[in-house]
């Protein structure tokens, strides 16, 4: 255990435990997900125990991604020890091509948020762009 003595106001020195601190914000805890294709259905499952999905979860489609925003609120009891992570968390999940917007649905049970969507035929994204040729400023 790495212990450093840290000054905590009031003129006393107290040990400070550095072992549970994340050195970089990008290494902070995130929402753990798994995703898979089941025939023509795309499924995303996110571990979100201990939250109220009606109040604490927001799902938004932004372009080709699904954004998952979650807030885990800390209860106001005195704890001796806690490894739970509280605060706001978000995750951007790329959607596969062909996801039908109107079929995206979500349900929450037993600490797992499951988001499903139907995948249809994809429209070709490549198309030729015609060139307008001008001669002396006239078409």
pTM value?
Answer: 0.64
3-state secondary structure of 25: helix
Q: In the numeric block, which tokens belong to residue 20?
A: 């549970």
CATH number for 51: 2.60.40.790
Mind listing the pLDDT tens digit for each residue in 72-92? 776 666 767 666 666 788 899
Task: Examine residue 114 and state whether it is found in any structural domain, yes or no.
Answer: yes
How many structural domains comprise the chain? 1
From residue 36, give the alpha-carbon distance in Å to each of 41, 57, 70, 137: 8, 21, 22, 55
- Asked whether residue 5 is domain-assigned, the answer is no
Which structural domain, as residue segments, surrounds residue 46? Answer: 33-74+84-118
> What HEC string does 58-78 produce?
EEEEECCEEEEEEEECCCCCC
Q: Is residue 23 part of a domain?
A: no
Q: Flag whether 61 is in a domain.
A: yes
What pLDDT, on the 0 to 100 scale, is given for residue 10? 52
Q: Is residue 131 part of a domain?
A: no
> Do the domain assignments include residue 95?
yes
Q: Band of the pLDDT at 30, cuts 50, 70, 90?
A: confident
């Amino acid at each position: 255990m790495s212990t450093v003595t840290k000054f905590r106001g009031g003129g006393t020195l107290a040990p400070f435990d550095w072992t549970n601190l994340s050195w970089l914000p990008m290494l902070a805890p995130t929402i753990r997900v798994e995703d898979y294709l089941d025939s023509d259905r795309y499924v995303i499952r996110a571990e979100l125990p201990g939250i109220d999905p009606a109040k604490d979860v927001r799902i938004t489609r932004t372009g080709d991604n699904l954004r998952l925003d979650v807030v885990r609120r800390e209860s106001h009891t005195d704890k001796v020890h806690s490894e739970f992570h509280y605060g706001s968390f978000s995750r951007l999940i790329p959607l596969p091509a062909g996801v039908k917007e109107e079929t995206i649905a979500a349900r929450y049970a037993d600490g797992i948020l499951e988001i499903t969507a139907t995948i249809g035929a994809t429209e070709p994204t490549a198309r030729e762009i015609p060139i307008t040729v001008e001669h002396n400023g006239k078409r």
